[in-house]
């Protein structure tokens, strides 16, 4: 198994497995979680509310680079997790490549917009 493991939330009466990287809450970590992560990053508070998550639970599933924050840097952590983890649902390699290229493009576009705004 990879370095991430499902986490048991002791505060609940029933077992609540939080799987790092499973941003769409389907019980698997796969390429579909990339778009869920992008949506979560656009509105973290709304994402927490929609999935009934606390801040610490959000960190468990979305802080994939270990910096105790959920930021765009965690997208690369999710891509790495998809590429290297043993428990990740198998995805078609072309889907992973397409997702990685798409996410990279979004990051570059965001950085360009931020840099352009800075220059103005």
pLDDT digit string, tens, across residues 90-100: 555 566 667 77
Asked if the structure places residue 39 within a domain, the reply is yes
| 67-70, Cβ contacts within 8 angstroms, sequence gap of 24 or more | 70/40, 70/41, 70/44
* Structural domain includes residue 34: yes
Task: Give domain status of residue 1, yes or no.
Answer: no
Instruction: Please give the pLDDT value at position 23.
Output: 94
Closest CA to 30 of 105, 95, 77: 95
CA-CA distance, 78 to 13, in Å (whole number)? 29
Helix (H) or strand (E) holding 17: strand 17-18
User: How many domains does the structure of the chain reveal?
Assistant: 1
2: in domain: no
Position 43 in a domain: yes
User: Domain containing 65: what range?
Assistant: 7-119
pLDDT for 86 equals 64
Residue 119's contacts (CB-CB under 8 Å, 6 or more residues apart) are: none
Give me the percent of the chain exceeding a pLDDT of 70. 68
């Amino acid at each position: 198994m990879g370095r991430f493991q499902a986490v048991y939330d002791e505060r609940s009466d029933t077992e609540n497995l939080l799987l790092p990287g499973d941003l769409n809450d389907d019980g698997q970590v796969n390429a579909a979680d990339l778009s869920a992560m992008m949506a979560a990053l656009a509105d973290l508070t709304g994402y927490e509310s929609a999935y009934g998550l606390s801040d610490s639970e959000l960190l468990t599933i979305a802080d994939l680079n270990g910096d105790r924050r959920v930021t765009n840097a965690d997208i690369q952590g999710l891509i790495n997790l998809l590429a290297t983890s043993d428990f990740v649902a198998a995805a078609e390699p072309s889907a992973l490549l397409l997702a990685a290229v798409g996410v990279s493009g979004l990051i570059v576009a965001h950085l360009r917009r931020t840099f352009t705004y800075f220059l103005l």
